[in-house]
A and B are shown apart, each in its own frame.
Chain A
Amino acid sequence: MKHKVILDQTTRNRNIQHHLNELERDNYAEVPELEIVSGTITKPRRTSEVDTSQNRKTKARSKKQLLSQLTVKKNLNALLEESRIDQLPPDIPTYFTAIAGPSRYPPRKFCSVCGYLSNYSCKTCGMKYCSVKCLEIHEETRCMKYTV
């Protein structure tokens, strides 16, 4: 007897979110090693850096250190947390308060295979299809093949 998997709503929502995040990628494939330029790995800046004897050399060195400190790669979520703007009182406008609200109209449903309007959703994974032909294509190619 074939054991049929049926995803629940939370997993389906997670898949949708994952898909939306995938749409924000720069490159489909992983960027190969050759791309990584030397210098991205930095040491933390020493605070007690005072050398009055050779001022110009110090200046050049601290500039280089500053540069290496500034070019530390941080992703946006880390920066958002670091900025602590979510701890501000709610009446102050920030990046988070500026998000547009949800639409008052219900979402339209499109077939994930052909792109026309759809009325039905796949029992297992929840993706939409419009006709039996599209359902067959969906089950062959995509259903449960890419899950988080």
Chain B
Amino acid sequence: MTERKVLVLDNGANTIKAGYALFSQQPKIIPNCRVTRGKGDKKTFIGDQFSSCTDFSGLYYRLPFEKGFLTNWEVEKGIWDRIFSKDVLDCDPQKTSLLITEPCFNLPNIQRTYDEMIFEVYEFQSYCRTIGNFFKILSINFFYENCPSALYPLLNFYIAPWLCIQNDISSLYPNRPQNLAEPPDCVLVVDSGYSFTHIVPFVMGRPILPAIRRINIGGKLLTNHLKEIVSFRYWDMMDQTYVMNEVKETCCYVSQDFLADLETCRKNTRDNPILQEYVLPDFSRNTKGYIREKKCVAEIYDQSDEQVLYMNNERFTVPEILFNPTDIGMNQAGIPEVIVEAINATHPDLHGLFYGNIVLVGGNSLFSGYKERVEKDLRVLAPSEFEVKVGIPEDPITYAWNGGRQFASTPEFDERLVTRSEYMEYGSNICLRKFGLGGDEIDEMSE
């Protein structure tokens, strides 16, 4: 294996997880946005500069991702420039290989833009892409007769769920004594992120493309929904995305018995353990909000000028949208039902294997009670002869990055790379030849 510097970039819609494969254990987590303050000093924060921001009022976000796809390259380039600069990662693209993630079913024209950007503008040394599988299954001529011959240095594109399974999956199921050494052949990854939720079945390390399902509910929608209901019921928080995101991450949880919790919320304060009082940050004294203990009635009237947000049924009705998108009028099924739908789209012999190997990743997996709820709901829906086993890594956000890091040190990674010179010579056909992942095998396995 050559001594090559590999940069693993998990390019997500909310945060970018970036780090060198050989040198770091943990990636740097950088917000993937450009934030400007509208009033006051009108300062702009790009990427990680946001951590130096103390006053979160009146911020305008410019996100390069729209509904999970990278559409605004101007902002993304600014963020990438910042990441590759000396302040953050100090990366010299011309001497580095890049392993980058893209969303599932990334559009071909967007993929071309990724390639052109990475090769021609940044001039990375090498790159590779797994969704070459996608290209092989599609009729190849359809796309490439009109494609300009772009020039690709080496790049590697992978979907984040695929990188997740490069980790040691069997370690996520501690109660399973028999399969300790071998990784499972069939894994179902549920990636619930900022923009949407994807359910991706993998067999022998390859995604079964016809069985991938997408629910258009992500963390962004949950935060916006919370902003709306809080603004209607308590204080106007429509401009305070950052604060409401913090509230969501601190106070919200997934309830195991929705109707019972809803009934508990109706009771008065003393009998209601669900009600929480969240003290909003006021940017002059404390920049971080916190949950305070419930005060008894007598103390309420001598309060200082703290603004308190009472989180009652909002605490669990917001994450409930992941399990029932119909609650807000979206005509899609929730995560457990879509898991069943995705598994049913695979070959019947594999169903049992998928139910027994489910992995939850993505930012939304951090809600407390998420894993238990998925297990509970799925047990009801899955056929009774199959065992349902759901695993969740310690850090669902960096799990894909860790997988990328593992993958970058395997010889398979070197095989998948396309060098810049190869691309210059052969054009885009080299990508098809090298990145095809054996579409025929996938067709055998799926219905």
Contact = CB atoms under 8 A, between A and B. Distances in A.
Contacts of B209: 93
B317 A40 contact: no
A34 B36 contact: yes
B48 to A, nearest CB: 19
B262 interface: yes
B120 A32 contact: no
B36 A85 contact: no
Interface string A75-91: 11001101101001001
Contacts of B216: 99
Interface of B: 36, 38, 42, 60-63, 66-67, 69, 71-74, 77, 104-105, 107-110, 113, 116-117, 120-121, 134, 137-139, 142, 198-199, 209-210, 212-216, 220-221, 224-225, 227-229, 232-233, 238-239, 241, 259, 262, 265-266, 313-314, 317, 324-334, 337-338, 341
B203 to A, nearest CB: 15
Given A27-B60, A31-B60, A31-B62, A79 B71 contact: yes
Nearest to B325: A103
A5 interface: no
Contacts of A140: none
B73 A70 contact: yes
B224 A116 contact: no
A66 B313 contact: no
Contacts of B259: 117
Given A76-B69, A99-B214, A103-B334, A19 B329 contact: yes
Given A31-B60, A79-B69, A102 B332 contact: yes
B330 A71 contact: no
Nearest to B265: A116
Interface of A: 16, 19-20, 22-29, 31-32, 34-35, 37, 39-40, 63, 66-67, 70-71, 73-76, 79-80, 82-83, 85, 88, 91-95, 97-108, 110, 113-117, 141-142
B332 A29 contact: no
B427 to A, nearest CB: 16
A32 B265 CA distance: 40
B130 to A, nearest CB: 15
Query: Residue among A22, A102, A103 with the most chain B CB within 10 A?
Result: A103
5 closest A-B pairs by beta carbon, nearest first, are: A107-B326, A103-B333, A28-B238, A71-B74, A95-B105
10 contacts: A19-B329, A20-B330, A29-B60, A35-B62, A67-B121, A75-B71, A76-B71, A85-B107, A100-B332, A115-B313
B317 A115 contact: yes
Contacts of B317: 110, 115
Contacts of A29: 38, 60, 238-239
B36 A73 contact: no
Nearest to A102: B331
Contact of A94 (B71, B105, B224, B330): B105
